[in-house]
Amino acid sequence: MPFGNTHNQLKLKYSSEQEFPDLSNHNNHMAKVLTPVMYERLRSKQTPSGFTLDDVIQTGVDNPGHPFIMTVGCVAGDEETYEVFKELLDPVIQDRHGGYKPTDKHKTDLNSANLKGGDDLDPNYVLSSRVRTGRSICGFCLPPHCSRGERRAVEKLSVEALDSLTGDLKGKYYALKNMTEAEQQQLIDDH
């Protein structure tokens, strides 16, 4: 196991009733699904990298949400999180994504020629837009559970992939730690 999780062993000294979070004022998908019985069943489990149920739910415990905005309330630390904690995560995903079942399969199409829209935005109304990306690379923990070294390895792999792009997809990668104020301002101005 690459990571030890001694904080989970400490929590197991207390009963599940003592450790179960007060979710009575929470408005997130995790709080809707997690019960004391489920917590008792899952609390001693962890993924091979040491990600625990308390790691999964802590963001939702710390951030109860807003009365009008339903947040997810949980995170995955690695790809195994989805299997180890599927009793919690499958209903959360299904609730959050309008019925997406564990048997459903995500359709991946990485062909940029198949992208539609975005080229006809009215400049009178749209000043700028951005695209958010996330990453999951097999064998690497996800951001909530990455070590510093692992983050650096993911960055290196990402830079190598980005450097291989050509044509209108070619660009420049700016590492935040090395970015000058002038470069930052230029990116802001260009946006």
147 annotated binding-site participant: no
Q: 78: closest CA among 104, 54, 46, 109?
A: 46
135 annotated binding-site participant: no
Report the DSSP beta bridge partners of residue 71: 28
Residues 49-69: b if buried by 16+ CB within 10 A, e if exposed: bbbbbbbbbbbbbeebbeeee
97 annotated binding-site participant: no
Q: 55: closest CA among 151, 145, 148?
A: 145
Residues 6 or more apart in contact with residue 60 via CB below 8 angstroms: 26, 28, 30, 31, 71, 72, 73, 74
158 annotated binding-site participant: no
- Give the chain's count of helices (H) and strands (E): 9, 0
130 annotated binding-site participant: yes
56 annotated binding-site participant: no
Write out the binding residues for ATP: 128-132, 191
* Binding residue ranges: 128-132, 191
